[in-house]
Amino acid sequence: MNLPGIEVTIEELIRECEEHLHPLDQWGKRCHAASLHLVRADNLLPVARVARGVCEGIGGQHSWVVLGWDCYDREATLIDPTLWSYDYSVEGVWTGTIEAGRHHPHGDQSIWEWGRPLDPTGPILELEPRTPFSERALRFLDILGPLDEVGWRQLAHAPVRGWPSDEILPAIEDTFGGEWVPIDIIGMVTDRNPSGLYLRDADAR
């Protein structure tokens, strides 16, 4: 497992997390609050963000911590501070990777397997990004072709792997409004921090 910016062992790190959450019982089934509490802690996790998706054994959505910036990195260390409150076989703070097979962040599929948005039948709409697109993003948009409102809404909910979603999804949000792109996706694939719920900085984007 990768521990970016951290010089202690994983055992020491988990012990420090449990000390920071003490008493652990207060966080039972409060997955997002507990995860954000760890991410915001001073001098605990230098590079970390909250991830959100589903976890086997838990009904509904679930949140956990990813060490590093990539919530979809299959080898990144995950810290789940509340899995114990859903799965009684887990003792204390759980740690592992996506490869363990339990945690599945929203959008964790390839766009090339998903397909493409429907061809436009209405007026063509253009994106208005805050900053110029990279060459990679421009190439993807050229391959994608023109889209109408329906097409952009579909793309806003596409899987994030295999395309410059970190550039294009914020541009969709900036152009058409924050409700177009799922908040969890913006919180996981960009450097924005919607509602202050994903990164250490408590301020929203």
Q: 63-70: list long-range contacts, CB under 8 Å, 24+ apart.
A: 63/31, 63/32, 63/35, 63/36, 64/31, 64/35, 64/103, 65/35, 65/38, 65/39, 67/1, 67/2, 67/3, 67/4, 67/6, 68/2, 68/4
pLDDT in tens, 161-197: 999 999 999 999 999 998 999 999 999 999 999 999 9
Task: Assess whether 154 and 68 both reside in one domain.
Answer: no
Domains contained in the chain, number: 2
First to last CA, the chain: 30
Task: Assess whether 133 and 115 both reside in one domain.
Answer: yes
Task: Assess whether 70 and 131 both reside in one domain.
Answer: no
Burial 71-95 (b: 16+ CB within 10 A, else e): bbeeebbbbbbbbbbbeeeeeebbb
Q: Does 203 have pLDDT greater than 70?
A: no
pLDDT in tens, 62-91: 999 999 999 999 999 999 999 999 999 999
pLDDT in tens, 26-51: 999 999 999 999 999 998 998 999 99
Q: Which of 139, 127, 187, 128 is nearest to 163 (CA)?
A: 139
Task: Assess whether 55 and 96 both reside in one domain.
Answer: yes
Task: Assess whether 98 and 37 both reside in one domain.
Answer: yes
